[in-house]
A and B are shown apart, each in its own frame.
Chain A
Amino acid sequence: MATLLEVSGVSVTFDGFKAINNLSLSIGEPEMRAIIGPNGAGKTTMMDIITGKTKPDEGRVLWGEMSRNLLGMSESRIAQEGIGRKFQRPTVFEAQSVRENLQLALKNRRGAFAVWLRPKGPTDDERIDALAEEIGLTDELERPSGELSHGQKQWLEIGMLLAQEPRLLLVDEPAAGMTPAERQHTTDLLKRAAQTRAVIVVEHDMEFVRRLECKVTVLHEGRVLAEGSIDHVTSNQEVIDVYLGR
């Protein structure tokens, strides 16, 4: 299991508030990792830093076999490198159909002229159909995604994430607002993905995390509090203190 992403010594401050404080973390490929932590622990900020939305004050984020620094790259470059992100709240393009949404996300050349002059790859339609099958939206392909239910939007979002074929998936609270059956489906899907790539799941729901059966990292006040199996971290006294309050 080779290291795919290494975050080391990263700190970021907002107006004097240390959102991330000397955080270090590394993910292999393939690997599934769950990140938990109370509100304000810095989970979202960490994902912002990895995806290039926020520039940290110090530290390094190294990526891939060549150990390239992600910090100098734009968001789009990082995404092209193979990091996909699913937001907590589904952000699909509501004015466009499900098919168009998936087509947008599909791994293809991203340059403006390439997109304009050669908009479609030969296998695009098949890939979209397969994805739609996977996320259960085959019948909704031509509907505007704004008309989908909340759960369906979550699925579409996951579908878009898979369509990018990233090497690292950053998934923010995938199970929020899902029925138990859908949760099971999501778990399966993520586990399957984690067989070939790296997956980082940020979650509140301990039950869901337990079902992922993976290494867990606990964040608190912008740094790693504990790391290990779910049973290991839940028996850690510090983690209990943080979650239950002293």
Chain B
Amino acid sequence: MTRGSKKPMRAFFLACALCLAAGAALAQDLQSLLQQNAEEIGDPSRRTIAEALEPVLESDLPQVLDFLERYAAREVWQRPEDGLFFYAEEGDDALTLIDIDTGEPVGTASSREMNNIRVNAGVRGVINSALVQFQLSDDDASRRIAALDAIARSPEPEHLAPLLNSIEDEPSPAIRERKERLASILTARFGESTEARVAAIDSMAGDTSIDVRATLNQILGASDEIGETLPEGENLAGERELTRDEAYAELAEEGLASPRVSDADIAAALQANIEGDAVAGVPVATMSDPAARIRAYEALAESGTVPPFVSEDEVDDLVDAYVYYQVYYEDDPAVTDAARGALGAIETRVALYQFADIALDALSLASIYFLAAIGLAITFGVMGVINMAHGEFIMMGAYTGYVVQQIVPDYTVSLVIALPLAFAVTFAAGVLLERLVIRHLYHRPLETLLATFGISIALQQLAKNIFGTQARPLTSPAWLGGQMEINDIISISNIRIAIFVLAAIFLVGLLLLLNRTRLGLEVRAVTQNPGMAASMGINPDRINMLTFGLGSGIAGIAGVAIGLYAQVTSEMGANYIVQSFMTVVVGGVGNVWGTLAGAGLIGILQKGIEWFNPSNTLAAQTYMILFIILFIQFRPKGIVALKGRAAGD
């Protein structure tokens, strides 16, 4: 807020206060206030209405707001004989008149006896901005906010003064802040003096909100122009870089050059000028040759039937003869300079925020991959077994969550039940798979891969048969539904935060389990040297069974988590399996940190590539996989590789 805008405002306030006192002394009811200018109000025009309504606006009567709204909505009637104003309800054949002060019905009249006051658009605009003043100072905070929303939606120059007036008396600090922001946005666009506008624009630098950016962009709006020289005295935005063809096309459009003759033009001209079976002496039958067409066209052009070809030299000359530039709609260079500067600063900050947003996205994607892959990494690392049915275990967990929700209607409770139940179900399924199939295929990793693939297609089809092919929703509880907004650009949905937390819990839990418990010790022993472990009295069978169960159980929990933000289908597992393999392979086998590193790398990569080409997630995935294939070339054992003899090279 600057001194320049403050002075007239204070004067205006003073005048208002005086008038209010006077108006209150003169009349106590709305009707009598209206009667002071009954003629102008009864037949309003844009020019006179503001003055005519002045006594009304300056009064402190509570009914004024209602009246103005109804007036603008053409619900006010005037009785010709005495010039009194009424609201009216239209009945079957008569109007029920309602007193504008008391709101009581005062009689009936036929519609022919009454004049409906015609309010045109211009008048309505005046009234609306008068209304804004009332709304902005309304006692009801929600109405004030609604008024601010309306102004923000379609800002008009008339809004500025009432908005500025309403700031001083605003009781709520939050709304006051909003009003001040909106005021500076309006000042930037419609302020009276250059200094006021520049100051307002400068105050917005660093504000990344969308409305501020939209305002600045509006100020920087420019029109494309062509001229022989750059004009003097106009607020130039700069010259335009055009290709030769684009430039010529614009010249042609502006009528500054004759359009070039396209192939389609030639064809049309030739068709229009066929005489017998030839055009200008060139036989139609030869016209499949472009050279023949050009010959015929040139002949036509010589005879003046069609416009001649524009030669390439002519094009060059014409294009060079003009300058192509942009002129700001805004005339004041100081304002546009300030706006450009502010926008530049804002865009830098926006880019920074977007980067942070992408980083958050990458983090949550990495969490999902980690959850999906860690179970696989455990079974692969400990047992050297690739479980192709891992994705189906994820699906099984998600469907467990869905079934629980069908039985337990409370989403929070059902989630609390579903997580351990999903673990139990998939743990059991994993142990069953290990006992029935995988146990017989140790030392045959490729065949395990195939056998578990058989399980995978059977389970997938089974899920289709039971639950159908359409996606089933797994609804998250309300407290997980929203999103955390840090500012206009950075936001992250609560569900993703929850998944991140879940991944962190699993990371810590697994590290504790593997490094601090007896079971973990035995698992690590079996990972590094099963033969030696067996000879030390560890039962590898039991360890394998438990490990496989654990890996599968984690897949089940991951399934519930994934199901909460994606949809539950029989194919959801298949969508994650390849990425999970990648995570394990890239990270390095047999190591929780490796999986974390792999998930992190893949998450960051995928989001990073999407950043460069946001419209195309398919391309992002393609490039990511290609990157991984190349990555494996250089680190075949992954990021975190077991070293030395234990790696079993």
Contact = CB atoms under 8 A, between A and B. Distances in A.
Interface in B622-649: 643-646
Contacts of A17: 644
Contacts of B646: 15
A17 B645 CA distance: 10
A17 B646 CA distance: 13
Interface string B239-270: 00000000000000000000000000000000
Contacts of A14: 643-645
Interface in A1-39: 14-15, 17
Measured as residues with beta carbon below 8 angstroms from the partner, the interface class of chain A is under 10
Dominant SS at the A interface?
A: strand
Nearest to A17: B644
Contacts of A15: 643-646
B258 to A, nearest CB: 67
Contacts of B645: 14-15
B149 to A, nearest CB: 67
A1 to B, nearest CB: 36
A182 to B, nearest CB: 29
A45 to B, nearest CB: 10
A170 to B, nearest CB: 19
Contacts of B644: 14-15, 17
A17 B643 CA distance: 12
Nearest to A14: B644
Nearest to B646: A15
A219 B71 CA distance: 110
A94 B170 CA distance: 93
B646 to A, nearest CB: 8
A14 B643 CA distance: 8
A51 B530 CA distance: 28
Interface string B425-459: 00000000000000000000000000000000000
B251 to A, nearest CB: 65
Nearest to B643: A15
A11 B649 CA distance: 19
B411 to A, nearest CB: 51
Interface in A198-219: none
Nearest to A15: B644
Interface string B345-370: 00000000000000000000000000
A17 B644 CA distance: 9
A14 B648 CA distance: 12
Contacts of B643: 14-15
B558 to A, nearest CB: 33
Nearest to B642: A15
A228 B643 CA distance: 37
A14 B642 CA distance: 11
A15 B646 CA distance: 10
A52 B646 CA distance: 19
A51 to B, nearest CB: 14
Interface string B20-57: 00000000000000000000000000000000000000
A36 to B, nearest CB: 22
Nearest to A19: B645
A15 B645 CA distance: 8
Nearest to B645: A14
A47 to B, nearest CB: 15
8 contacts: A14-B643, A14-B644, A14-B645, A15-B643, A15-B644, A15-B645, A15-B646, A17-B644
Interface of A: 14-15, 17
Q: What are the 8 closest A-B residue pairs judged by CB atoms, nearest first? A: A15-B644, A14-B644, A15-B643, A14-B645, A17-B644, A14-B643, A15-B645, A15-B646
Given A14-B643, A14-B645, A17-B644, 5 more contacts: A14-B644, A15-B643, A15-B644, A15-B645, A15-B646
